């Protein structure tokens, strides 16, 4: 397995990690046994960077991972997140208060069944709490031996700078793919300047860039993507036109569209580590083959031209969730 280094002082990790969210949040059908088998397969082939959050399934994802790694802890690099909360009425919130940082970490450690987490990140920035206070509390977790490294998720460039000045960040997690390129404007350059690795989630556009989703009915009932604007019927019809370019390059090179999409992301920066999510071993194996693809400059340009920044039809999250991004 090819390796990449997270940040200036972070660990070496596989060039492609495993996003585990879909194992506990409905993107298709859920199957814990299948998910655990996929995690075991990932570890067998060297994909030991597991990405999760206390918000995924309201803790269920961390519990699932804890069960899967119970006898294989020494093989795993855990990356979990905190900060998104669920109110009694079911609505969502954000909590970056220092006392909550400690509380959230303790709860995650218990669910995961471990005594430390290699990479601990703030899932969403709390606009009501200075980032220095939140990061200060996160740094104390390192002093306590409960966390090894710190990261952020969906943070604005200025927030990244302030957080990094308080304590070094090794990664910033954000959505990045051919159809979500906003990070190229400021976030990616900021990370490159500061020596922070970008950790793109959804590098396959939540599965859309694989070419397997042609219409809304291709998503099972209850699939959360049905609530995402980009998967609305009229937007799918527009966005699928761009995927044809990915399919053409895949056909010319003998790879699959999903592999081409991940290869494009990998080519953007040598310290960037995408974390495509899957709960299927065959898709995991397919995703990993992307590290062997050497796209030509012409192919990279063709793909980039087909997906201009900001040209994807529909917001990447429902409107209420968009308000929590880029703070």
Q: Which residues are catalytic, by number?
A: 56
Whole-angstrom distance, CA of residue 115 vs CA of residue 74? 12
7: enclosing H helix or E strand:
none
End-to-end CA distance of the chain: 35
Residues 181, 309: contact at Cβ < 8 Å?
A: yes
SS3 97: coil
What residues have CB less than 8 Å from 321, skipping those under 6 apart? 92
Whole-angstrom distance, CA of residue 156 vs CA of residue 207? 25
283: enclosing H helix or E strand:
helix 281-288
Whole-angstrom distance, CA of residue 209 vs CA of residue 247? 9
Number of Cβ within a 10 Å radius of residue 270 = 10
Q: Which residues of 11-31 are buried (b: 16+ CB within 10 A; e: fewer)?
A: bebbbbbbbbbbbbbbbbebe
Whole-angstrom distance, CA of residue 198 vs CA of residue 185? 13
Nearest Cα residue to 94 out of 128, 68, 61: 128
Please report where in the chains the tokens 């269920």 appear, as a residue: 60
């Amino acid at each position: 397995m090819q390796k990449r280094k997270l940040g200036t002082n972070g660990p070496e990790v596989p060039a492609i990690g495993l996003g585990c969210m879909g194992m506990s949040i409905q993107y298709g059908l859920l199957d814990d046994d299948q998910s655990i088998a996929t995690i075991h397969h990932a570890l067998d082939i060297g994909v030991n960077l597991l990405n999760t959050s206390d918000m995924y399934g309201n803790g269920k994802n961390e519990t699932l991972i804890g069960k899967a790694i119970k006898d294989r802890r020494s093989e795993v690099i855990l990356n979990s997140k905190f900060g998104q909360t669920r109110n009694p009425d079911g609505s969502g919130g954000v909590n970056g208060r220092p006392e909550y940082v400690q509380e959230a970490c303790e709860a995650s450690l218990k669910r995961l069944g471990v005594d430390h987490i290699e990479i601990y990140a703030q899932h969403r920035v709390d606009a009501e709490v200075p980032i220095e206070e939140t990061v200060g509390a996160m740094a104390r977790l390192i002093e306590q031996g409960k966390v090894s490294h710190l990261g952020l998720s969906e943070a604005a460039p200025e927030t990244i700078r302030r957080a990094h000045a308080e304590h070094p960040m090794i990664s910033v997690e954000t959505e990045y793919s051919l159809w979500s390129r906003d990070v190229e404007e400021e976030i990616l350059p900021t990370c490159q300047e500061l020596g922070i690795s970008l950790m793109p989630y959804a590098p396959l556009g939540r599965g859309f860039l694989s070419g397997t989703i042609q219409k809304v009915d291709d998503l099972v009932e209850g699939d959360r993507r049905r609530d995402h604007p980009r998967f609305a019927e009229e937007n799918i019809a527009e966005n699928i036109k761009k995927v044809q370019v990915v399919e053409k390059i895949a056909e010319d090179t003998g790879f699959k569209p999903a592999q081409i999409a991940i290869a494009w992301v990998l080519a953007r920066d040598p310290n960037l580590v995408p974390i495509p999510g899957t709960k299927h071993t065959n898709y995991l194996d397919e995703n990993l083959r992307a590290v062997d693809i050497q796209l030509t400059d012409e192919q990279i340009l063709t793909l980039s031209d087909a997906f201009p920044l900001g040209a994807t039809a529909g917001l990447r999250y429902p409107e209420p969730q968009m308000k929590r991004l880029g703070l």
